[in-house]
A and B are shown apart, each in its own frame.
Chain A
């Protein structure tokens, strides 16, 4: 009974819904179309509930860390929980609760804290990229040499100073982007798509069960 509820029924639901959605894409049968639309609408509702579930899981996990009074992790978990609840309470201003004061505080939290921290995180990556370029772009062999030359022309051709120094930099960069780069991207996309297709087939047929909690 436990195996029926935890494995067989979820696999059957996935198989049935997947079949309906595949048929919806390839056929114009009205009943299949309406079932496909309905399942898409259910997905929106489930997606919304997943956010709530994620929030509960987040609070539980970090609440446990805070209660454990761990010197290393507890302060960060406490900070996360404080900002989580503050943002949630301030977010009620979007429903008209709390008036303009709460609304301005919410926007300020987002624009002046979250945006700034996100920008700084992206900016820090620049230092790592520069040091990574110094260490990685070395022509140790023929393939490395091709990488270095292509990287040099692409980098200098993408920025305005490239055209100012020597205009053909731009044409060379465009050729690298449009011919070998595009061909390689197409190959990678095709490979990824075929991999995704095989994974989806395994999911539909119930062969792939890693998404089932507690399964083998």
Chain B
């Protein structure tokens, strides 16, 4: 009950704690801001809607940032239910950021593709796109899509972005290692810690961790729901810290009282 109140009160009465932009978010922003006309961005094999509440705002903000760049192509590829997630991202951008999607059109400036087979499907796509798939998500032939003109394999992509909840190694193997395409990733907070060696080594040009990074990116680009959720996140973290301290105080006070009693008996 206390936890629900702690999470809920900031939505009714926002506190407005200032956000600091982290290094990973800044790197992602700079890389996408530097996109030039003619560049092709791969929005690669992200989550479906399972972690939308944590990563969704960041995915929307990043997709909007890419689409706002003039003459930059966006190729969104996914498996299973991920293309439906991409549809939701596009609808969210239309409803909240830009009604005409920054003047971009499906098929001309962006498209949604679907693969199968997990990492094997990724490899097949990055090696030879038309060998792996012939149609987009809406069963249009790839050759009929102006956005796919000149995009034959993974090496034709300028930059890649992904948002994942667990395994990021297949993306590193098939995008960075195989085709040398710079890859930035938005991850769940717990997973991002494990990806730090790749970020420090330069294999990933950016690692954004969880809802906090999404809020930071919204602050840099287009305001969205993640910023409003940060007060709630802050208070819940403070509550967990208080509980941790309380648990330790309880443990040690119990230990001391048991020792005192045993000394008395002894």
A residues whose Cβ falls under 8 Å from a Cβ of B: 36-37, 40-41, 43-48, 50-51, 94-95, 107, 110-111, 114-115, 118-119, 122-123, 126-127, 129-130, 133-135, 137-140, 148, 151-152, 155-156, 158-164, 170, 174, 177-178, 181-182, 185-186, 188-189
Contacts and interface: CB of A to CB of B under 8 A. Distances in A.
B87 interface: yes
A156 B193 CA distance: 15
A161 B235 CA distance: 8
Given A47-B121, A135-B247, A159-B230, A177 B196 contact: yes
Interface of B: 3, 17-20, 23, 49-54, 80-81, 84, 87-88, 115-118, 120-121, 123-124, 127-128, 131-133, 137-139, 189, 193-197, 200, 209-210, 212, 230-231, 233-241, 243-248, 251
A44 B238 contact: no
Contacts of A170: 20
Contacts of A118: 49-52
A64 B53 CA distance: 36
Contacts of A40: 120, 123-124, 127, 131-132
Given A160-B19, A185-B193, A37 B237 contact: no
A80 to B, nearest CB: 16
A111 B241 CA distance: 35
Q: Is the interface of B mostly helix, strand, loop or mixed?
A: helix
Contacts of B17: 160-161, 164
Contact of A44 (B132, B210, B248): B132
A156 B243 CA distance: 13
A163 B131 CA distance: 51
A181 B193 contact: yes
A186 B247 CA distance: 31
Given A43-B120, A43-B124, A133 B52 contact: no
Q: Is the interface of A mostly helix, strand, loop or mixed?
A: helix
A155 B197 contact: no
Nearest to A106: B84
Contacts of A48: 116-117
Contacts of B200: 178, 182
Contact of A161 (B139, B234, B243): B234
A123 B53 CA distance: 9
Contacts of B233: 159-160
